[in-house]
Chains A and B, each alone.
Chain A
Amino acid sequence: MAKKQGDIKKTTTTLFFVTILMFGFGYAMVPLYDTFCQITGLNGKTQRVIETKGEEVVVSNREVRILFDANVNGDLPWRLKPTIKAIKVQPGKFYDATYSVTNMSNEAVVGQAIPSVSPQIASLYFKKSECFCFVNQLLEPGETKDMLVRFEVDRDLPEDVGALTLSYTFFRAKGDNS
C-alpha cells in the first residue's frame, strides 16, 4: 500500500511538471513563432540588412513593380501618404522611397509604424537598410515629417512574383496617453 502511495505521488509530480512545462510552452510559442515567420515569411514582416557599398550587381533586366501603401490605425489622428505611389525596381539594387506623415490633431502624439509586405512570400526577399518602422516617432500638432525607407529586392525573388506591396501602418505608440 505504501508503495502504491509512493507511485501515485510520483505520477502526480511528473504530471504537475508536465503542466508547468506546457504553460511555458505557450510562452515559448512566441519566439518560436517569430523564428518560424522569419523562415517562412508568415506574417509579412520585412527583413533588415546592412547595405554594403559597391556590391550592386544586377544580373538580369528583370523589373519588379513595388506599390507603396499606407494605413493609420483607428485611434491615431495622423495622415500617412507615400510620396510616390509605385516604382519599378531591379532586383539587387537599393532604392529610396519616402512617406510623408502629418499629425492632424491639436496635441503632440507619439506613433510607431509597422511594415507589412504582400504577397507574404515576398517579405523574405524584401530587404531594408533604413526604415522608420518599430521606432517611436513624436509629432507636434500639425507637424509633417518625411520618413525614408531604403530597400532592395533580393535577386532570388521567385520568378512568379511580378509585383509586391509595401505597406506601413502607424499605430499610437503603447504608453502614449495624450
Chain B
Amino acid sequence: MSTLAHEHDHHHAPSGLKRWIFSTNHKDIGTLYLIFALMMFFIGGAMAMIIRAELFQPGLQFVDPQFYNSMVTVHALIMIFGAVMPAGVGLANWMIPLMIGAPDMALPRMNNMSFWILPFGFALLISTLFMNGGGPAGGWTMYPPLVLQLNDAFPFLIFTVHILGVSSIMGAINIIATVFNMRAPGMTLMKMPLFVWTWVITAFLLIASLPVLAGAVTMLLTDKYFGTSFFSAAGGGDPVLFQHIFWFFGHPEVYILALPAFGIVSTIIPTFARKPLFGYASMVYATASIAILSFFVWAHHMFTVGMPIKGELFFMYATMLIAVPTGVKVFNWMATMWKGAMTFEAPMLFSIAFVILFTIGGFSGLMLGITPVDFQYHDTYFVVAHFHYVLLTGAVFSLMAAAYYWLPKWTGYMYDEKLAKIHFWLSAIASNVLFFPQHFLGLAGMPRRIPDYNIQFADFNMISSIGGFAYGISQLLFVYIVIKCALGGKKAKAQAWEGAKGLEWTVPSPAPFHTFETPPKLTKAMLEN
C-alpha cells in the first residue's frame, strides 16, 4: 500500500467539491455511485410514468409513437445501466472493503475514473432525445436493421454503451483485485460474507460479457458508417447474428443485476432471523453454477427467430436447469428463517418481499423457458411482467433493503422505521398492482412495445397504470426518508442491528473516513457465516 493509500494519510476528509471530484476514497465513491443511481432511478422512472400515462387508455393520449418507442428504449437503458448496476457497484464500493477488512479498494484512482465517466455517458444518452430524429427507439436490445434507421442519435447511442461498458469493467476489475489481494489475514475465500462472494462472481460475469456487447455495438457502428456487413443481409451478413452476440452478453447481464441482490438478501435475512445463513457453501456453489449456466442459455431470448429444433431443445433444457440452483437459493433462505427469532424491520420486509416476488418472476421464467409455449409468450406483456418481477420487485427491492440495512452505518443515524414500513407496504402493493395484471395482458395477446392497444386490453392497462403511478409516488417517500436520516435522528450504534454479523459492524457508525488501515484481527466469532 506504499503510494496509493498514503496519499490521503491526513486523517480528515477533504472538503468541498474537490472532495467528491477527486475522491479516491471507497466510501465517498460508494456514496457518489448510490446518489447517482438514485437520480437515474427517478429519471428512468419518469420515463416509465410517461409510458404508463400513454397506456392508461386506448387511443393516443400524450406522446407520439416514435417518442413512445424512445421512452421504452431509454427507460430500459437507464434503469439497467444507470440505476441498478451503479447502485450495485456503489454498495460494493462501500461495503466490500469494510466486509473483508481492507483499508480501501485496490485501485482507488481507477475507482474515481470509473464513476466519473458515468455522468458523461448518461448525459450523452439523454441528449439524444433532443437530437434530429429523436432518441434511440428500437428497444434497448438494439436489433439491426431497425437500429440502423436511427438518425443523428445512432453514434451517441453506441458511444454511450461503450462508456458504460468501460466504467463497469473498470469497476469489476477493481472489485476482483480488491477481494483477491486485500482480505484481512485469516479471511479465506470460504469465510467471506456471501455479499462479497456474489459480487466477485458478478464482476467475473461483467468482465466476460460486457466486452462482447462492446464488440457487437462496434460492429453495428462499422456496419452503418464503414461499409462492413456483419449484420446486413445485403452484404452476406446475418441480422440474427447480432441477436446471438447481444444475448450472449444479455443473459449474463440479467445475473449481473440479480446476483448482488442474492448477496444482499443472504446478508439481511440471517441478521433479522438471528440465525446463521443456511447452507453457506451450497449458496456459493449455486451462485457460481447460475453464473456459468447463464452463458449457455442466451438463445432462449430468441426462440422465435427460427432455429433448428436441436438448438431449441438444447437452450430449453439449459434454461430449465437454471431453476435448480435458483431453487436451492430460495430454499436456503427459507431454511434460514425457519426456527429463527425474526423481527420485521424495513430491510427484512424488503428481503422477504424479494424472496417471494423474485420467485414469482422465476416461475414465469420457467414457463417462458418451455420453447413451444414461449412461441405464444414471446414479446408479449407476459415477458414484461416476468422481467419486472425479477428486476423491480427483485433487484430494486433488494437495493432498497440494502439501503435501509446499511443507512445507519453510512450516516450514523437510524432511519425513520415507521415511514420506512409505510414505504415498504406502498411499494409492495403498488408494484404488484402494476405488474401482476400484465401477465394477463400478455396471455390475452397484447404485444410489448406498442403505444396503443385494442379495447379488450383496456381494463388491465388502467389498473396497471394506477399501480405504476402509485409506485412512482411512493418512491419519493424513500428520498425523504434517506435525507431525513442523513440529517439526523436516533444515533446508531456500531452494531446497528442486534443480529448483524460481519466486520462492517465492528467499526463505529458512521464509518470513519479511513477504516482498517491496519488489518483487523479476526476472531472465530467474526468469521462465522
Contact = CB atoms under 8 A, between A and B. Distances in A.
Asked if chains A and B are in direct contact (CB within 8 A), the reply is yes
Contacts, number: 111
Interface string A17-48: 01111111111011001000100111110000
B2 A22 contact: no
Contacts of A2: 2
A8 B106 contact: yes
A175 B176 contact: no
Interface residues of B, number: 44
Contacts of A4: 1, 181-182
B150 interface: no
A171 B211 contact: no
Nearest to A26: B215
B211 A29 contact: no
A21 B209 CA distance: 11
Interface string A104-134: 0000000010100000110000000000001
Contacts of B238: 33, 37, 43
Interface stretch (B14-22, B55-63, B229-237, B503-511): B229-237
Interface in B119-160: none
A18 B212 CA distance: 11
A33 B241 contact: yes
Interface stretch (B36-44, B302-310, B318-326, B388-396): B302-310
**Dominant SS among interface residues on chain A:** helix
Contacts of B106: 8, 11-12
Given A43-B240, A169-B233, A174 B227 contact: yes
Contacts of B421: none
A7 B208 CA distance: 21
Contact of A15 (B176, B230, B307, B310): B176
B181 to A, nearest CB: 5
B493 interface: no
A33 B244 contact: yes
A21 B169 CA distance: 13
A166 to B, nearest CB: 16
A67 interface: no
A153 to B, nearest CB: 18
Contacts of B241: 29-30, 33
Given A11-B181, A12-B177, A40 B244 contact: no
Interface of A: 1-2, 4-5, 7-8, 11-12, 15-16, 18-27, 29-30, 33, 37, 40-44, 73, 112, 114, 120-121, 134, 169, 171-175
Interface of B: 1-2, 4, 106-107, 169, 172-173, 176-177, 180-182, 207-216, 219, 227, 229-230, 232-236, 238, 240-241, 244-245, 248, 306-311
Given A26-B216, A41-B308, A174-B229, 4 more contacts: A11-B177, A21-B211, A73-B233, A121-B308
